[in-house]
Structure 1
Amino acid sequence: MTTFYFTTQDSERALDDGESYDLPDLLSAIDEAKNVLSEMAADGIPRNDGQQLLVEILNSERVPVVRLTLGLEIAFIAVEKGDEEHIDR
């Protein structure tokens, strides 16, 4: 088993609870980070363009080794102008 730590960040705050997790390997830590990220998204996705949810995996020396992000991108494909007329960007 290998010891990992997780830090999380949303649009309001960063959190490092200091809790360690003993997991078989880095791939298992990535799977756990995906679960954490999905739980964060269930609490609310980012509200503004460019905002993101973030989970960092730190090794046993608390050095960041992997970062997972889930972001919101708003892209206007076409802009409606008047009745049925569209202008492409």
Structure 2
Amino acid sequence: MATYYFQLVDHDGVQPTEMSYEFDTTEAAIEEGRTALAEMAADGLPLGDYHMLSVEVFDHERKPVREIRLILEEIDKTVPTHPSPLSEG
């Protein structure tokens, strides 16, 4: 088994890369990163400056392997209450 490290960007921002886990394969570590991201999203959507949740997986040498992100984007679909200058012909 090899050691992998996770760095999180959640509702509180970036957390230190101090969480280490043992996995048989890199794919198993990445899958656990996906699960962690889903659990973070279940706790609530991002509200801060990042507008995203992220789990970055590092190998035993702390080299990045994969970053998994959930990005929140809000799009205002309301019609402006004032006519635009282009419509005043």
Which interval holds the TM-score relative to the shorter structure?
Answer: 0.7 to 0.9
Contact 2:7–2:57 (CA under 8 A) maintained in structure 1:
yes
1:63 maps to what in 2?
Answer: 63
Contact 1:11–1:51 (CA under 8 A) maintained in structure 2:
no
Query: Which has the larger strand fraction?
Result: 1
Aligned length: 81
5+ unaligned residues in a row in structure 1: which ranges? 83-89
Runs of 4+ in 1 over 3 A off after TM superposition: 47-50, 78-82
Which has the higher Rg, Structure 1 or Structure 2? 2
2:14 maps to what in 1?
Answer: 14
- Confirm or deny that 1:44 pairs with 2:44: yes
Report SS of the residue matched to 2:75.
coil
Q: Provide the aligned C-alpha RMSD in A.
A: 2.2
Please give the alpha-carbon distance, in whole angstroms, between the structure 2 residues aligned to 1:49 and 1:13: 9
Contact 2:7–2:19 (CA under 8 A) maintained in structure 1:
no
- Confirm or deny that 1:79 pairs with 2:78: yes
Q: TM-score, normalised by structure 1?
A: 0.74
Identity of aligned residues (%): 36
5+ unaligned residues in a row in structure 2: which ranges? 82-89
By how many angstroms is 1:7 displaced? 0.6
Q: TM-score, normalised by structure 2?
A: 0.74
